[in-house]
A and B are shown apart, each in its own frame.
Chain A
Amino acid sequence: MYKWIHQFGSPKYFYDVSFRVSFWCGVVCVIFLLAGLYGGLVLAPADYQQGDSFRIIYIHVPSAWMSMFVYMVMAVSGGISLIWRIKVNEVIARSAAPLGASFTFLALATGSLWGKPMWGAWWVWDARLTSELILLFLYLGYMALVSAFEDRRTGARAGAILALVGVVNIPIIHYSVEWWNTLHQGPTVTKFSSPSIHTSMLIPLLLMWIGFMCYFFSVLMIRARAEILEYEANASWVRDLVNQSAKRRSI
């Protein structure tokens, strides 16, 4: 196990393995997203109160879950890079940020589209919506901070500290609907008692969630591979790689 972790910390090994991870996650992602969309938009019945409008949860809920999950990936990876100075972790943290920001934006935008007809307002300043908006600003702040440094490694370190500071927002987002009176409803799936959603509606939601997860890992790996080549531009294995592909092209 320890050896495996060490191997994964080597940029060259990571570059080799990440291609396969990206490819297979991409394949699984397409299968699950298609199945989830078909199940959610065609097979699942309409809701007893909201009719067909409820179907936006198949995008909204996985996006919101991912927005928090990606932040944890970014913060944990940043924490590891602060302590052990592993390049691969720095790369993962900074590659995850734009993806997390996109998921957060998607969750906010789809929630807003649903909120107008159902609640009667595009936006309200309740605890859930506000803390999710703060999450978006944390992502954007992280991206701006990391890219403000000439030196990649200094930037990654500064970003990791910001990411760790922002971790406090994650439990606030999750529990906001339980701690305070909010307009946003309480948790449907992520609670200790059984989910308050009918099985026929829950299954497509879980399929979509797996699809979103695989999408994230697939694209994260693609981004991280590009990033790691820039990090290691002067390393011998990158030069070999470039020379090889140049040779192949000249033949």
Chain B
Amino acid sequence: MTLTLRKKRILMVSGIVLGIGIAATLILTAFEKNLLYFYSPTQVRDGEAPQSRAFRVGGLVVDGSVQRDPESLRVSFDLTDTANTVSVQYDGILPDLFREGQGIVANGKLDDNGVFQAAQVLAKHDENYMPPEVADALNSANAAEMFKNSGHAGP
């Protein structure tokens, strides 16, 4: 079978794209763990996170868990992925978006008591954008829904 020059070139071009694509897929699958930007509290509890060196843990700040030391910048809070929780201690300035219920990523080490000593705390923003009024309306709608489902007859 003889190929025309043009067909050869088409084969070459699709060969490059396909070959690099397969190679990249293999490499990325092999390095999957190293590409994770942070571990979840469940992964930390299961011992998947490194024990001796620094790593990042990400989750939602548990409502009511934030405790600030009035004398210094020390703050402690719990991080959850709704299944498991990790306690975090941090000494430094928190980003604007840090608040209870917000997703954050902390960089640091586990100490001997299983408390995560953070050297850096980053806020993770979610993909939702809305005006404050809409957020309020959504919140009160959710609250009403939960109230209805909880089976109370009235306030």
Specify whether A and B are partners. yes
**Residues on A close to B: CB < 8 A?**
45-50, 53-54, 57, 79, 82-84, 117-121, 124-127, 161, 164-165, 167-168, 172, 179-183, 185-188, 196-198, 200-201
Q: A82-B9, A180-B36 are in contact. Are A119 and B122 (CB under 8 A)?
A: yes
Contact B35 A121 (CB under 8 A): no
Instruction: Give the chain A neighbours of B95 by CB distance below 8 A.
Output: 117-120
Do the beta carbons of A48 and B124 come within 8 Å of each other? Answer: no
Chain B contacts of A46 at CB under 8 A? Answer: 131-132
Contact between B58 and A185, CB atoms less than 8 A apart: no
Among A47, A120, A179, A181, the residue within 8 A (CB) of B131 is A47
**How distant is the Cα of A45 from the Cα of B39 in the complex, in angstroms?**
35
Chain B contact-residue range equals: 35 or more
* B120 interface hit (Cβ, 8 Å): yes
Chain A contacts for B98, CB-based, 8 A = 120
* A118 & B21 in contact (Cβ 8 Å cutoff): no
A198 touches B129 (CB 8 A): yes
Q: Which of B9, B121, B130 contacts A47 (CB 8 A)?
A: B130
Residues of B with C-beta under 8 A to A168: 17, 20-21, 24
- Contact of B125 with A119 in the complex, beta carbons under 8 Å: yes
Docked Cα-Cα span, A172 to B133, in Å, equals 36
Interface of B is mostly: mixed
A46-B131, A47-B132, A119-B97 given. 15 additional CB < 8 A pairs?
A: A48-B136, A49-B135, A82-B9, A82-B12, A82-B13, A83-B10, A118-B95, A119-B95, A119-B122, A119-B124, A120-B93, A167-B17, A183-B124, A187-B127, A198-B130
B97 touches A50 (CB 8 A): yes
Taken together as a complex, chains A and B put the C-alpha atoms of A187 and B125 apart, in Å, by 12
Chain B residues contacting A54 (CB-CB under 8 Å) are 129
Which of A49, A54, A79 gathers the greatest number of chain B CB atoms within 10 Å?
A: A49
Q: Check B38 for interface membership: any CB of A closer than 8 A.
A: yes
Chain B residues 35 to 82 lying within 8 A of chain A, measured CB to CB, are 35-40, 58
Q: Is the CB of A48 within 8 A of B132?
A: yes
| B126 proximal to A (CB < 8 A) | yes
B125, A50: Cβ atoms closer than 8 Å: yes
Contact with A along B11-42 (1 / 0, CB 8 A): 01100110011001000100010011111100
Given A83-B6, A120-B95, A164-B13, the answer on whether A185 and B125 have CB atoms closer than 8 Å is yes
Can you list 5 contacts pairing A with B, beta carbon distance less than 8 Å? A82-B9, A82-B13, A83-B10, A183-B124, A198-B134
Q: Are A120 and B94 in contact (CB under 8 A)?
A: yes
User: Given the complex of chains A and B, what is the CA–CA distance between A181 and B103 in angstroms?
Assistant: 12
Is the Cβ of B36 less than 8 Å from the Cβ of A181? yes
Contact A181 B94 (CB under 8 A): no
Cβ of B96 within 8 Å of any chain A Cβ, yes or no, is: yes
The closest CB in chain B to the CB of A130 belongs to B35
